[in-house]
Structure 1
C-alpha cells in the first residue's frame, strides 16, 4: 500500500487559485443533512468546506432549524426543507433540492441525518440522474442508503466518495464488522470496484481505495479525533476540496491528511483527547498553505 504523506500530497497537488478568482470559480458546495435533534452537524461540515477555500456554501436542513443555522454561519445561504413528524428531512425534499443540486460543484449528503426509508428515498432521488460533472460525498446515514444503490452510484463514473467507518462499511459490504476488520484492504478494494466509487474507510489507520483497485493508507491522526462531529468536519474538508476541482481521490486523500494533522496539532496544544470537533476547522487554511507553499521541500 502507498502511504498518504507529504510526498503523496506533492504528487497529488490541489488546484491553485487564479490571481483574480471570484466566488463561483472557487467552487460551490451544497451540504444536505441535519434534523431537529442534531441541527449543529451541518455547521461543522459547512464551516470545514469554507475553511478549505471553497467560494460558496449552501446548507439545506429542516425548516424548523434553518434560520438558527443561517445566523450561526452567516457566510452560507440556507435552504429550508420539509420535515416529517419526527423532525427529519422528508423524502420530498429531493424535489426542492433538484435545481440547487444541478448548480453546485460538490454535494455533501448525510451529516446529521437518521437512517430510515425517507433517507433512502432522498438519497436515491438526488442520485437519480447520473452526472460526472460534480462530486458527491455520501456520509453517515446516507451510507446506509447507498448499499441499495450500487448501480446508480457506479453510473456517476467515479465521482462519488463514500466515507464509512468500520460499522458502515460492514453494512455496505453485506458483512459483519469482524469480517471487515479481518480484511480491511480486501473489503475496501471490493466495495470501491463494485460501486465504481472512491472509498475512504475511516479508522486508526484510514484506507483510501479507488475503483481501479489501488489502495492508499493514512496513518496520521490521534485518539482525540474519535469524538462527536469529527466525521462531519472531515466530510466538509473533502467536499470543499472537491468543489474547487480536486479529483475525488485527491480530495479524499488530502482531506484525510488535513483532518489527521489538525488533530495532531490540537493534541499538542490542548491534550491528547478533549478538544472539540469545531476546533479542527480553523486550522485547515494554515495547514493547506504549509503543505502547498513548501511543496518543493516535500518532494
Structure 2
C-alpha cells in the first residue's frame, strides 16, 4: 500500500498546461446533481472542477435551481433537467443527460442528490452505454444505487471512480459500517475488483483501490474537512483532473491529496474547524504542481 506523499506525487506528476492550449483541450466536465433539499451542492463541485485546471464545466440540475446556480457561477453553463415529485432528478432527465455526454470528457454524477428509487432508474439509463474516452465519477445517491450494477459499471473498462464513505460502502457491500471500519482496505479492494472501478473509500484515513489490487492511502490531519459540502468539492477536484486526462487512479490520489492539503491550508488561515467547504476552493490552484 503506497502513501500519497511527495515521493508518490513526484512519480505521478500532473500534466502541464501548455501555452496556447484552449479551454476545450483542457477538459470538459458535465456535472449533474442537486435537489430541492440541497440545491447548491453542485456549485461547489463545478467550482472545484475549474479550480484544478479543467477548461469547461456544465451543470445539469433540477429546473428550479438551474438559473440561480448559473447566476451564482457565471463561468459555467447550466442545463435545466426534469424534477420528480420528491424534488430529485427523475428518469425523464436521461435523454438530456445522454445528449450532453456526447460532448464532454468527464461525467460527475451525484452531488446534492439523496433519492433512491427514481435515482436508481436514472443511473441505469445514463451509464448503460460506455463511451470511448469518457470518465465517470459516481457520488452520493447514484453511488448508493450502484449495488447490483457491477456488470454495467465494469463495462466502462476501469474509467469509473466511486467515492463512498463508510455508510455507502456498507450498503454497496451488503455489510455493516463496523465491518467496513474494521478493515477498510479489504472493503475498498473487494469493491474495486467487483465493479472494475477505482474506489475512494473516504474517511480520516482514505483508502483508494484499483481493480488490479494497487492501493493508496492518505491520512488526513484536517478534522475540519468533516463538514457539509466537503465531499462535493472532492468530487469536483477528481472530476476536473480526470477531464485533464489524468489516469483514474492518479486522479483519485491527487484529488484526495489536494482536498486534504486545502483543508490544512484553510485550517491554518481560519481555524482547525469551522471553515466552510467553499473556503477550500481558493487554495486549490496554488497547491497544483504541474
TM-score, length of structure 2 as denominator length: 0.98
CA–CA distance in structure 2, aligned partners of residues 108 and 223 of structure 1: 25
Spell out the pairing of 1:221-232 with structure 2 (5 A cutoff): 221-232=221-232
Spell out the pairing of 1:1-299 with structure 2 (5 A cutoff): 1-288=1-288, 291-292=289-290
> What's the CA shift for 1:272?
0.8
CA–CA distance in structure 2, aligned partners of residues 6 and 104 of structure 1: 31
Secondary structure of the corresponding residue to residue 25 of structure 1: coil
> What's the CA shift for 1:115?
2.6
CA–CA distance in structure 2, aligned partners of residues 241 and 221 of structure 1: 23
CA–CA distance in structure 1, aligned partners of residues 259 and 197 of structure 2: 21
CA–CA distance in structure 2, aligned partners of residues 87 and 190 of structure 1: 34
> What's the CA shift for 1:274?
0.3
CA–CA distance in structure 2, aligned partners of residues 268 and 17 of structure 1: 29
1:17-60 CA-partner distances (Å, limit 9, x unpaired) = 12210010000000000011211100100000010111111000
CA–CA distance in structure 1, aligned partners of residues 35 and 142 of structure 2: 14
Q: What is aligned with 1:297?
A: none
CA–CA distance in structure 2, aligned partners of residues 115 and 4 of structure 1: 34
Secondary structure of the corresponding residue to residue 204 of structure 2: coil
1:176-232 CA-partner distances (Å, limit 9, x unpaired) = 111111111111111000100001110011001000011110113411000000000
CA–CA distance in structure 1, aligned partners of residues 18 and 119 of structure 2: 38
CA–CA distance in structure 2, aligned partners of residues 208 and 220 of structure 1: 14
Large movers: runs of 4+ above 2 Å: none
1:238-272 CA-partner distances (Å, limit 9, x unpaired) = 00000010010111000000000010111111111
User: Would you say the 8 A contact 1:143–1:164 is kept in 2?
Assistant: yes
CA–CA distance in structure 2, aligned partners of residues 111 and 58 of structure 1: 14
> What's the CA shift for 1:159?
0.2
Deviates more, 1:195-204 or 1:93-102: 93-102
Deviates more, 1:31-40 or 1:131-140: 131-140
CA–CA distance in structure 1, aligned partners of residues 40 and 29 of structure 2: 17
CA–CA distance in structure 2, aligned partners of residues 267 and 151 of structure 1: 42
User: Would you say the 8 A contact 2:88–2:115 is kept in 1?
Assistant: no
CA–CA distance in structure 2, aligned partners of residues 6 and 94 of structure 1: 41
User: Would you say the 8 A contact 1:158–1:196 is kept in 2?
Assistant: yes
CA–CA distance in structure 2, aligned partners of residues 44 and 96 of structure 1: 22
Task: Mark the runs of 5 or more structure 1 residues left unpaired by the alignment.
Answer: 293-299
> What's the CA shift for 1:132?
4.5
CA RMSD, aligned part only? 0.9
Secondary structure of the corresponding residue to residue 91 of structure 2: coil
1:95-153 CA-partner distances (Å, limit 9, x unpaired) = 11111012110110000011321100111111011234111000111111111211000
Task: Mark the runs of 5 or more structure 2 residues left unpaired by the alignment.
Answer: none
